[in-house]
Amino acid sequence: MARYRYPVPPSHEITPRELYAQRRRFMKQAAVVLGAAALPGLFPGSALAWRDRVSDVAPGRFNTDEALTDRETATSYNNFFEFGTGKEDPKRHAQQLRTDPWSVRIEGEVDRPGVYTLEDILKPHDLEERIYRLRCVEAWSMVIPWVGFPLGDLLRRFEPTSRARFVELETLHDPEQMPGQRRDILDWPYREGLRLDEAMHPLTLLAVGMYGEVLPNQNGAPLRLVVPWKYGFKSIKSIVAIRLVEDQPVGSWEASQPREYGFYANVNPNVRHPRWHQATERRLGERGRRRTLMFNGYEEQVAALYTGMDLEKHF
């Protein structure tokens, strides 16, 4: 498999750690539990170990010094149609979702396919905090401190074959737990896809936490994707399958409304959505609107992925 090299972003864009001072009190209390969990035979195979890791992580290379979106807003204003179409529906209905135990299928063009528990998925990876901008195609945006690790690190473990060109991801399909799936809003289960080099880019994150805590159900627990230079619908939630394929996959929104939701879904203020103007956005918690940045402000890091492409045609 080809190796990819990408420019490293400016190192000065790091949010002051004072923003998280309140978390340190909890971390000191958790230290006793963390120490006990490290003892052989204690809490064997438990999800507790990885959940504790979420609250004590180092800041990653990729951050922004912009003001964070209020946690209450970020966990109450969500698109997660598996739980309803209203912004408040996910928080209202997602609490019934069972996220432990959880497993993920790794399949397709890989040398090591299989079904892996979430603990198996996370165990070899160091978690880190990354503060990313999140931009929705509906023209609102947030700034969120995620906790996770690069998707590319996971893919390398399972050794993609030379035929792997794309990555397709799939959300849990369980209408009993996810009442929105009882309606034909989309062709369930929800699916999304990336080009392999997009998936391997170091900015592409598999998240298990936010704001120093385990992901809330309404935000995609226990495992979701975060691709900060793309519109939010690419950030598939509650992932149960990661499939490497040779042909370009069709995402659920692309299949439903191809004129509005393209495969690439790069934040591009020059491509007008049929229903929403994209040149500006509403940052939740701010008054007024702000100018939308190309690739959501990550142009320096990702523009090379699309050299020579017509980004109005490949939107």
- In this prediction, residue 291 carries a pLDDT of 98
Whether 137 contacts 275, CB under 8 Å? no
pLDDT at 1 over 70: no
Whether 142 contacts 73, CB under 8 Å? yes
Q: What is the DSSP string of 109-175?
A: SBSS-EEEEHHHHHTTS--EEEEEEEE-TTSEEEEEEEEEEEHHHHHHHT-B-TT--EEEEEE---T
What CA–CA distances, in Å, run from 259 to 77, 128, 193? 25, 36, 17
pLDDT tens digits for range 99-138: 999 999 999 999 999 999 999 999 999 999 999 999 999 9
Distance CA 207, CA 149 (A): 7
Which of these, 280, 277, 203, lies nearest to 234 by C-alpha position?
A: 203
Residue 257 CB neighbours (<10 A)? 12
- In this prediction, residue 61 carries a pLDDT of 86
Question: Residue 89: which residues within 8 A CB-CB, separation 6 or more?
Answer: 80, 83, 180
Distance CA 116, CA 104 (A): 5
Which of these, 241, 240, 168, 157, lies nearest to 199 by C-alpha position?
A: 168
pLDDT at 41 over 70: no
pLDDT band at 48 (very low <50, low <70, confident <90, very high): low
Whether 139 contacts 281, CB under 8 Å? yes
Distance CA 170, CA 188 (A): 9
| Burial class of residue 206 (count of CB atoms within 10 Å of its CB; 0-12, 13-18, 19+) | buried
Phi, psi of 23 (to 5 degrees): -75, -25
pLDDT, the chain, mean: 88
- In this prediction, residue 17 carries a pLDDT of 40
pLDDT at 53 over 70: yes
Distance CA 312, CA 40 (A): 56
How distant is the alpha carbon of residue 284 from its chain centre? 19
- In this prediction, residue 202 carries a pLDDT of 98
Q: Regarding predicted confidence, which is higher, 12 or 146?
A: 146
- In this prediction, residue 290 carries a pLDDT of 97
- In this prediction, residue 38 carries a pLDDT of 33
Distance CA 70, CA 215 (A): 15
pLDDT tens digits for range 54-112: 998 989 889 999 999 999 999 999 999 999 999 999 999 999 999 999 999 999 999 99
Token representation of residue 90: 């996910």
pLDDT tens digits for range 235-272: 999 999 999 999 999 999 999 999 999 999 999 999 98
- In this prediction, residue 276 carries a pLDDT of 87
Task: Among 24-33, 139-148, 188-197, name the one with the lowest average pLDDT.
Answer: 24-33
Which of these, 81, 108, 102, lies nearest to 242 by C-alpha position?
A: 108
- In this prediction, residue 18 carries a pLDDT of 43
